[in-house]
């Protein structure tokens, strides 16, 4: 009877108390798994932190104009010693944005932009060499050019300033600026460029021969020969 009283009088054990040992055991079993999953994450974060610190510690590239000039000696036959007004079939490089020149050299080397001569020239250059050469040409003063065909100047100006509305061709000045100076790292300087060269590039974009700029390929595809020739000639006289 006394034993029964003790049994009856003892406080009931809540159901949760029966579960606690099992839960604690489950937590102890899950802990090694959690640590195993977190270890790679911690390692990845540590690696990223190290790489970020290393990138910050790396000094910014400083182009060497003297080295660029030395490397450019192989370019003078086509582009002249200072990249100014050489043969009209070849581009004027003087005062061109260095970022644009580097991009073109990289794409010649990779084959993304096709030109047998330039692919051979770019093949021997490292990316640092390209930056030296680009900085050298960018440091030179460009010389003014002029339009040659008075009969197409008006059409060329209309396309440059307002585009071709009926064909959804945008104004060239919108990207290359009103005077053709372009935007560093985005759009090249084309004001004063040889009209023959500009025309050839627009035709190459239109035909697909030059395919390293989707935007220009789309625009040129909407232009006829007369429109291309007119705007190319107009560009030559911008300053």
* Inside any domain, residue 230: yes
Out of 138, 162, 188, pick the residue that ends a domain.
138
* Inside any domain, residue 175: yes
* Inside any domain, residue 109: yes
Please provide the DSSP assignment of the chain as one string: -HHHHHHHHSPPPPHHHHHHHHHHHHHHHHHHHHHHHHHHHHHHHHHHHHHHHHHHHSPPP---HHHHHHHGGGTHHHH-TTSSS--TTS---TT--HHHHHHHHHHHHHTSS--HHHHHHHHT--HHHHHHHHHHHHTSPP-------TTTHHHHHHHHHH-BGGGTBPPTHHHH-TTS--BTTTB---TT--HHHHHHHHHHHHHTS--S-HHHHHHHTT--HHHHHHHHHHHHT--
Residues 95 and 53 in one domain: no
Each residue's pLDDT tens digit, 18-75: 555 555 454 554 555 555 656 666 666 666 666 666 556 668 889 999 999 999 999 9
Which residue range(s) make up the domain with 207?
Answer: 153-236
* Inside any domain, residue 106: yes
pLDDT of residue 56: 62
The percent of residues above 90 in pLDDT, for the chain, comes to: 72
The domain spanning residue 90 has which CATH number? 1.10.760.10
Residues 84 and 118 in one domain: yes
Each residue's pLDDT tens digit, 194-234: 999 999 999 999 999 999 999 999 999 999 999 999 999 99
């Amino acid at each position: 009877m006394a034993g029964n009283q003790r049994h009856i009088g003892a406080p009931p054990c809540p159901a949760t108390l029966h579960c606690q040992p099992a839960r604690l055991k489950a937590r102890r079993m899950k802990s090694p798994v959690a640590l195993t999953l977190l270890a790679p994450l911690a390692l990845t974060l540590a690696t990223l932190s190290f790489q970020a610190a290393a990138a910050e510690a790396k000094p910014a590239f400083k182009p060497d104009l003297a080295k660029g000039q030395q490397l450019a000696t192989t370019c003078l036959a086509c582009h002249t010693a200072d990249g100014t007004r050489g043969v009209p079939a070849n581009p004027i490089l003087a005062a061109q944005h260095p970022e644009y020149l580097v991009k073109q050299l990289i794409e010649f080397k990779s084959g993304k932009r096709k030109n047998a001569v330039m692919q051979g020239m770019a093949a021997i250059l490292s990316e640092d060499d390209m930056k030296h050469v680009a900085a050298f040409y960018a440091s030179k003063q460009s010389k003014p050019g002029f339009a040659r065909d008075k009969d197409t100047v008006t059409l060329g100006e209309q396309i440059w300033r307002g585009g071709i509305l009926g064909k959804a061709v945008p104004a060239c000045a919108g990207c290359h600026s009103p005077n053709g100076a372009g935007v560093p790292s985005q759009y090249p300087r084309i004001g004063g460029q040889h009209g023959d060269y500009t025309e050839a590039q627009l035709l190459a974009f239109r035909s697909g021969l030059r395919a390293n700029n989707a935007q220009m390929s789309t625009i040129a595809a909407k232009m006829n020969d007369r429109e291309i020739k007119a705007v190319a000639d107009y560009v030559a006289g911008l300053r």
